[in-house]
Amino acid sequence: MSSWESNVRRVEPYVPGEQPKDKNIIKLNTNENPYPPSPKAAEVMKAFETDRMKLYPDPDSTVLVDALAERYGVKPSQVFVGVGSDDVLSMAFMTFFNSDKPVLFPDITYSFYDVWAEVYRIPYKQIPLDENLHINPSDYKTENGGIIFPNPNAPTGVLESVEMIEEIVKANPQSVVIIDEAYIDFGGESCLPLVEKYENLLVVQTFSKSRSMAGMRIGFAIGNEKLIKFMNDVKFSVNSYTMNPVTQLCGAQSVKDEEYFRKTVNMIIDTREKTKKRLSALGFTFPDSMSNFIFASHKTKPAGEIFEELKKRKIFVRYWNKPRINNSLRITVGTPEEMDCLIKALEEITT
């Protein structure tokens, strides 16, 4: 080992879903939206003056922050934006989780949480979900250095009630509680109204799922003004110019196009519910997903085998060979035509 290597920070990185180079793939493995973004966002890109590329972007992302504040009925000073919700969550870990007490999150959850904890040297404890893959709020009424979990959960799709979330937030006034609502628009009730009641609650959402803008990388957090100021202080100590001007403008227009947003979200919900029935008929079981994916297990065919067989047919889904979830596949809800192809392939594989 070279002498300098002893000072390297070593971590096991997050592994994202495979991004195949082959365009002739039915890609149902990364929970992207199958529909294009708002036409208003596309108009921004066509009209953007390329001469502006030589200038730094607005470090405050004012146009986007203002649009989000208006849409969600909060002050601009209650909104933080970042390059995807991963950037927002990473900044929140760095800002709020600095205790010697462990940060708490579920054992089956978004697999970036433990990566951030490791890279920032944050102690953490993974709390097992119950047999129905739900959170037991009593597990989070203990000393901790912070709490984070997605709602609906990923990869299970299970939705927790706002009442249960409030119970956890109320029981932990000494800690910041972060609710990761990446999938909330697909049938869940947001806990955003609670930020006016609890100064220790931070709610994070993303444009990658319900707003069809995964490639633009936009995430945001809403919370108490004090929380947001602390996050901005950290952000501006790392990199002031994180979001480019095209992204800011496209994001703002997407937020303003409520009609298109509702239309595409409802299309995905409709396809999801139809797909649930078709998967059940093929012998699959799954939690009642309120997200844009279904976390399915077959009664006789191992998930790993189905995953490989689907891949041979150029259909990509997500599989983790991990305890408690190694017999489940996370299947993104695509277009009706894509789901027809999936079901046809599963009929061949499982019968």
- Predicted confidence at residue 50, as pLDDT, reads 87
d(CA 96, CA 32): 29
Query: How do 219-223 and 201-206 pair as beta strands?
Result: antiparallel
Q: What is the pLDDT of residue 173?
A: 97
**Amino acid residing at 296:** A
The edge-to-edge listing of strands for the beta sheet with 318-319 is 284-285, 293-298, 329-332, 318-319
DSSP type of residue 79: E
Radius of gyration of the chain (CA): 21
**Calpha distance 130→108 (Å, rounded):** 10
Between CA 178 and CA 91 the distance in angstroms is 12
pTM: 0.96
CB of 25 closer than 8 Å to CB of 345: no
> Cβ-count burial of 28 within 10 angstroms (0-12 exposed, 13-18 middle, 19+ buried)?
buried
Cα-to-chain-centroid distance, residue 277: 25
Helix ranges (DSSP H) in the chain: 39-47, 62-72, 84-96, 113-119, 162-171, 225-238, 245-256, 258-281, 303-312, 336-350
- pLDDT per 10-residue tile (average), the chain, 351 residues: 87 90 93 97 91 93 98 98 97 97 98 96 98 97 98 98 98 98 97 98 98 97 98 95 94 97 98 98 97 97 98 97 96 98 98 89
The dihedral of CA 90, 91, 92, 93: what is its sign? positive
CA atoms of 308 and 55, how far apart (whole Å):
47
| Sign of the dihedral defined by the CA atoms of residues 57, 59, 60, 64, in that order | positive
Amino acid in position 190 = S
Q: How much is the pLDDT for 278?
A: 98
**pLDDT value of position 237:** 96
Residue-level pLDDT at 77: 98
The residues facing 21 across adjacent strands are: none
